[in-house]
């Protein structure tokens, strides 16, 4: 089945791409997260009936992925800080000997 350019599915995928493009780079600030949730909800509501709930599944999957990316990036930064501190502690220990 091919989507025609005037179909709801085609419009939904174009809007989904726009949503992803706007929010792909995860940010720490509240405005980013509030706007992401609002725009995802608007996307889901706009296409939910026409797509039999598919818009909700992909919209909220993207929202969940953004949240995962945020927490993963925090863990990487925390590990890097921890490793850096451990390296500094090792250097101090070595210098004292």
The pLDDT tens digits for 5-14 are 999 999 999 9
Q: What is the pTM of this model?
A: 0.74
The pLDDT tens digits for 20-74 are 999 999 999 999 999 999 999 999 999 999 999 999 999 999 999 999 999 998 8
What's the confidence (pLDDT) of residue 75?
77
Asked whether residue 52 is domain-assigned, the answer is yes
Q: Provide the sign of the torsion angle of the four alpha carbons 18, 22, 26, 31, taken in this order.
A: negative
Query: Phi and psi at residue 7, in whole multiples of 5°?
Result: -80, 155
Asked whether residue 12 is domain-assigned, the answer is no
66 vs 76 pLDDT, higher one: 66
Provide the number of structural domains found in the chain.
1
């Amino acid at each position: 089945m091919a989507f025609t350019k005037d179909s709801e599915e085609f419009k939904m995928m174009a809007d989904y791409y726009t949503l992803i493009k706007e929010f792909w780079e995860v940010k720490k600030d509240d405005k980013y997260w509030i706007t992401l949730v609002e725009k995802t909800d608007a996307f889901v509501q706009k296409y939910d009936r026409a797509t039999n709930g598919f818009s909700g599944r992909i919209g909220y999957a993207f929202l969940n992925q953004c949240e995962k990316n945020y927490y993963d990036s925090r863990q990487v930064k925390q590990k890097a800080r921890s490793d850096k501190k451990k390296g500094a502690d090792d250097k101090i220990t070595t210098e004292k000997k």
